[in-house]
Amino acid sequence: MADGQNPCALVVMGVSGSGKSTIADHLAVRIGWRFEDGDAFHPPSNVSKMHAGQPLTDEDRWPWLRAIAAEIDRTCKVSERTVIACSALKRSYRDILVHGRRDVRIVFLDGTLELIASRLIARKDHFMPPELLASQFRTLEPPTPDERPITVAIDRPVETIVEDIVSKLNLDRP
């Protein structure tokens, strides 16, 4: 990495249907880190709202984001490494997750509304209805250069996307 510090956590972010869980899981396997799905940190009330087709409010998201941030802090403190899939659509959300750490990196999965909508329509086993996609795109604040994001296009095979991320990470090998 440019600053000479390997990350202890990678947050793979993007709207629902962008491939966060798939890419993060494959990335974790590729680099030998633990995978965590940020959806597992949602309280049941958030899952119920999403199942009902109701967008989450910022108030709904704060406890979820703080729980993920606590897991990142725990992981880094004990010298573990993790890849976490988390939508992290707004800068304020990413600020909670990263909170100034230089050892946490954001990976932004960038894709068009049309591509992602086609993926959501094909999904059968997920709680995010396609109708909420427009809401997610309205909320999305793509990462800015000061966040040091790794931005990758998602219109390619999973393995190609993962290799692109790995090459951009430029991890020091033990």
Residue-wise pLDDT for 43-83, tens only, equals: 999 999 988 878 788 999 999 999 999 999 999 999 999 99
Residue spans of the domains in the chain: they are: 9-167
If you ran DSSP here, which 8-state letter would residue 55 be given?
A: P
How many CB atoms are closer than 10 A to CB 14? 26
Whether 174 shows a pLDDT value over 50: the answer reads no
Task: Please name the residue ranges forming H helices in the chain.
Answer: 20-31, 44-51, 58-77, 91-98, 113-122, 133-139, 158-169
Choose which CATH entry (3.10.20.600, 2.60.40.1180, 3.40.50.300, 3.90.1170.50) describes domain 9-167. Answer: 3.40.50.300
pTM of the model: 0.89
Which amino acid appears at position 141 of this protein? Answer: E
Residue-wise pLDDT for 120-133, tens only, equals: 777 666 555 656 78
- Cβ-based neighbours of 95, under 8 Å, separated by 6 or more: none
Residue-wise pLDDT for 8-40, tens only, equals: 999 999 998 899 999 999 999 999 999 999 999
